[in-house]
Structure 1
Amino acid sequence: MTHCIGRRTALGLAGAALAAPALRAQGTAPLRIIVPFAAGGSTDAVARLASPGLTQRLGQPVVVENRSGAAGAIGTEAVAKAAPDGLTWLLTFDSHAVLPALLPNLSFNLMRDLDPVMLIGGAPYVIATRPDRPYRTLADLVVAAKARPEAVSYGSTGNGTIGHLTMMLLQSRTGTRMPHIAYRGGGLAVNDTIAGHVEVMIGSAALLAPHIAGGTLRAIAQFGPARLPALAQVQAAEEAGFAGLQAEAWWGVFAPAGTPAPLVARMNAALRESLSEERARRQMEEAQQARLVLSDPPALQAFLERQVEVWGGVVRANGIRAD
Structure 2
Amino acid sequence: MGKLTRRAMIAGALAVPFTARAQEWPPGQMKLIVPFPAGGTLDAIARLVQPGLQQRLGTTIIIENRPGAAGSIGTAAVAKSPPDGRTWLFVFDTHATNPVMQPSLPFDSETDLEPVMLLGTAPNIIACQPSRPYQTLAELIAASKAKAGGFTYASAGTASLGHLTMLRLAKRSGGQWAHVAYKGGAPAVNDAIAGHVDMIIASSAVLNSQIEAKLLRPLAQTGATRHPTLPDVPTLVESGFPDLVATPWWALYAPGKTPKPMIERFHAEMSTVLREENVADKIKTLGLTIVASDPDYMRKFYTEQAQIWGQVVRDNGLREGG
The answer on 1:243 being equivalent to 2:238 is no
Give the AA of the match of 1:308. A
Query: Cα distance, 1:90 vs. partner?
Result: 1.0
- Mapped to 2, the partners of 1:230 and 1:254 lie a distance apart of 28
Number of matched pairs: 300
Partner-residue secondary structure (3-state), 2:223: coil
Q: 1:263 to 1:139 in 2, by over 3 A?
A: same
Give the TM-score, by structure 2 length: 0.82
Q: CA RMSD in A?
A: 2.6
Kindly report which structure 2 residues correspond to 1:116-131, keeping only aligned pairs within 5 A, or say none: 116-131=115-130
Deviation at 1:43, TM superposition (A): 1.3
Q: Which residue is 2:231 aligned to?
A: 232
Say if 2:59 is the partner of 1:90: no
* Residue in structure 2 matching 1:292, options 290, 293, 296: 290
1:280 aligns with 2:251: no
2: distance between equivalents of 1:76 and 1:305? 17
Q: Work out the CA distance in 2 between the residues paired with 1:42 and 1:186.
A: 7
Q: Distance in 1 between matches of 2:239 and 2:152?
A: 21
Cα pair 2:236 2:245 within 8 Å, conserved = yes
**Sequence identity percentage:** 46
What residue number does 1:52 align with?
51
- Higher mean C-alpha deviation, range 289-298 or range 128-137: 128-137
1:202-256 CA distances to partner (integer Å, 9 max, x unpaired)?
A: 1222332233222232111011233222211001222333334233332211112
TM-superposed CA distance for 1:191, in Å, is 5.0
Matches within 5 A, 1:7-156: 26-145=25-144, 150-156=149-155
Flag structure 1 segments of 5+ consecutive residues without an equivalent: 1-22
CA shift for structure 1 position 109: 0.9
Look up the equivalent residue of 2:302 and give its one-letter code.
L
Deviation at 1:264, TM superposition (A): 1.3
Task: Please say which of residues 143-152 and 73-82 is displaced more in the overlay.
Answer: 143-152
Alpha carbons 2:38, 2:65 under 8 Å: kept: yes
By how many angstroms is 1:123 displaced? 2.2
**Alpha-carbon deviations, 1:93-139, whole Å to 9, x = none?**
22212211221100111122211111111222111123354433333
Query: Counterparts of 1:120 and 1:250 in 2: how far apart (Å)?
Result: 8
Q: Which residue of 2 aligns with 1:16?
A: none
| Residues 51/100 of structure 1: CA separation in 2 closer, same or farther (3 Å cut) | same
Q: How does 1:168-179 map to 2 (within 5 A)?
A: 168-179=167-178
Q: How many angstroms apart in 2 are the aligned matches of 1:27 and 1:301?
A: 25
Alignment of 1:193-204 (within 5 A): 193-194=192-193, 196-204=195-203
Aligned-partner Cα distance in 2 for 1:224–1:210: 18
Residue identity opposite 1:315 in structure 2: V
Residues in 1 aligned to 2:216 and 2:23: alpha-carbon distance in whole angstroms: 53
CA distance in 1 between counterparts of 2:44 and 2:178 reads: 32
- Alpha-carbon contact 2:67-2:183 (below 8 Å) kept: no
**Contact 1:79/1:90 (<8 A) preserved:** yes
In the alignment, structure 2 segments of 5+ residues that lack a partner are: 1-21
Q: CA shift at 1:293, angstroms?
A: 0.9
Partner of 2:122: helix, strand, or coil? strand
Aligned to 2:211: 212
| Partner SS for 2:123 | strand
**In 2, Cα distance between the equivalents of 1:216 and 1:270?**
37
Match of 1:315 among 293, 313, 316: 313
TM-score in terms of structure 1 length: 0.82
Q: What SS class does the counterpart of residue 230 from structure 1 fall into?
A: coil
* Change in CA separation of 1:108 and 1:186 when aligned onto 2, cut-off 3 Å: closer
The separation in 1 between residues aligned to 2:42 and 2:190, in whole angstroms, is 22
* 1:132–1:281 Cα change, 3 Å: same
AA aligned opposite 1:78: A
Distance between the aligned counterparts of 1:264 and 1:53, measured in 2? 17
**Structure 1 residues 26 and 210, CA gap change in structure 2 (3 angstroms):** closer
**For residue 14 of structure 2, what is the aligned residue in structure 1?**
none
Q: Which has the higher contact order (CA 8 A, sep 6+)?
A: 1
Measure, in 2, the Cα distance between the counterparts of 1:257 and 1:265: 14
Cα distance change on mapping 1:58 and 1:160 into 2, 3 Å: same
Between stretches 277-286 and 304-313, larger displacement belongs to 304-313
CA contact (8 A) 1:149 1:178 kept: no
